[in-house]
Structure 1
């Protein structure tokens, strides 16, 4: 039997179980909320985060902590959470956001120790943005925030989940906008998670289809990609960098180094397994719990009943 060489190096923390959007691929309004997992909105406290990170870093080397949600910028103690991570010597601190937050927050987060921002940008058009997010908000605000983060000196990436019948026609425009602004964009296959686990095929647009769409306008070649990356990166002749995250058709689970934590401080070893574990206060018991979490990792993404709203990406 081949020895399992996988290890946890990146922690993704869902710091609250709430989002201001109801995106069709995450929390569609015609589907019931998963109150069996999270009976009420939870916010991860700075104190609990600090305790959990200290416990984890005593046993594993965390090279990055990525804050997700829900929408993490809704957390009133977000800047303090980032500061705690830097005080605990976490080298890379990242966040994923929908871009709708108060003025001045980007600079506050950067000063606290944030190193990267990922933005969800699923549509370049106002009508497409409203349809996907189920919110009547100006998409121009999101575009402004993305450029603001880049100007501030943060590393910036854009994530775009492609759904057939919704935004596949915008792939080229999204790639051009991000490329002209020097921002890598990652196109994601629709993931069968939570309320949409059984309703997946109608909206699915594969990585191969995305590649073919891009080839209709651009020539590109493979771009250097880290072995533990969830995306395979490419670069066009114009210098536009894009990635493909193909959980279903081109699984990358074998190299996964991610551990996840929810807003209650419970850890998960795999996005395709809703089994959670409590980190014990007894240091001698932590290695066994981490081993159990690692054993839940799959070799291919299958999804789970847990919504992205509660566990992040």
Structure 2
């Protein structure tokens, strides 16, 4: 049984690890068009340091690992990172979130290294809109990555779609139909104000009620799905007779903090109890001191707040704590 229980009674068995803040896209909800000041290479955790931290976490009850970025596949040693983490006793599930651009060339090697599941960011099915939202890259490469993931045996394959008012909200039906026609699990995600809560965010934010309305208008009966592996905070549904499913991740309109089971490790070695708040604990300086690493894991639970208050930010209410200044790509998606 996990020892990682916070003061609100939440058990933590899930660690999300960002292996880089660099990315080959510039998605509108993740970083500015001009990019950000990226971490120097020597300030990022090495594959060996990541494994040391995970080894301690596993002894304390961490069972699930998700590798994120930035874009994790830009790390040349990403296969070594996955292999190192997957081989640690106690780790039962290793997954990865990627934009898919580089996945076709690495899917097989990642699978052999111990990766079992992939989430692929895909905010549009239209090539011209892809360039508008991602500002770089080609939709064709993402589709090739999805095909390679299926060929390599990854299951389930999830597609993460951040819903953006005025940009991709007209494609909700298309994504829902995709979940019916193909064995893909589409997850609609509300746009979060990570590192920024400006008018641009407010103008593009769209609650996921719109997805429920669109699903109800389609000609198929829906049923809730309780068993999509690794569904985390997602509320999952499928169309009866369909091959896949669709999920709703609504941190703002219907927050799921009461069930939060995760901690986050940034590429430069900071342990974050909560995605939204500023609090961080430096694990890198303690990477060779297992007793100190354990203390810092427990300390993260001691300071973890009850909820993130993003909904209050949407309505411009006062917050009880200080939000992070890091963008999503600098924390780990």
Alignment TM-score, normalising by the size of structure 2: 0.85
SS of residue matched to 2:16: strand
SS of residue matched to 2:162: strand
Q: Which residue of 2 aligns with 1:131?
A: 132
Preserved contact between residue 104 and residue 149 of structure 2 (Cα < 8 Å): no
Is residue 2:275 matched to residue 1:271?
yes
Is residue 2:109 matched to residue 1:108?
yes
Q: Which among 301, 305, 308 is matched to residue 297 of structure 1?
A: 305
Preserved contact between residue 55 and residue 88 of structure 2 (Cα < 8 Å): yes
RMSD value, Cα: 2.3
SS of residue matched to 1:185: strand
Q: Which residue of 1 aligns with 2:319?
A: none
Q: Which among 235, 238, 251 is matched to residue 235 of structure 1?
A: 238
SS of residue matched to 1:51: helix
Structure 1 position 129, deviation (Å):
0.7
Which digits, 9 at most, give the CA deviation of each residue in 1:273-297, with x for residues without a partner?
1211123454444444223312223
Which digits, 9 at most, give the CA deviation of each residue in 1:144-195, with x for residues without a partner?
2112212221121110001000001111112222432211110001111124
Matched residues in 2 for 1:298 and 1:117: separation?
Answer: 29
Matched residues in 2 for 1:301 and 1:233: separation?
Answer: 23
Matched residues in 1 for 2:197 and 2:126: separation?
Answer: 24
SS of residue matched to 2:282: coil
Q: Which among 236, 245, 248 is matched to residue 244 of structure 1?
A: 248
Q: 1:49 to 1:197 in 2, by over 3 A?
A: farther
Matched residues in 2 for 1:62 and 1:229: separation?
Answer: 14
Runs of 4+ in 1 over 6 A off after TM superposition: none
**Contiguous gaps of at least 5 residues in structure 1:** none
Preserved contact between residue 99 and residue 141 of structure 1 (Cα < 8 Å): yes
- Of 243-252 and 262-271, deviating more is 262-271
Q: 1:121 to 1:39 in 2, by over 3 A?
A: closer
Matched residues in 1 for 2:281 and 2:325: separation?
Answer: 17
**Contiguous gaps of at least 5 residues in structure 2:** 1-5, 311-322
Is residue 2:331 matched to residue 1:311?
yes
Q: Which residue of 2 aligns with 1:188?
A: 189
Preserved contact between residue 56 and residue 294 of structure 2 (Cα < 8 Å): no
Q: Which residue of 2 aligns with 1:262?
A: 266
Preserved contact between residue 26 and residue 195 of structure 1 (Cα < 8 Å): no
Q: 1:184 to 1:62 in 2, by over 3 A?
A: same
Preserved contact between residue 71 and residue 97 of structure 1 (Cα < 8 Å): yes
Q: Which residue of 2 aligns with 1:6?
A: 10
Q: 1:288 to 1:138 in 2, by over 3 A?
A: closer
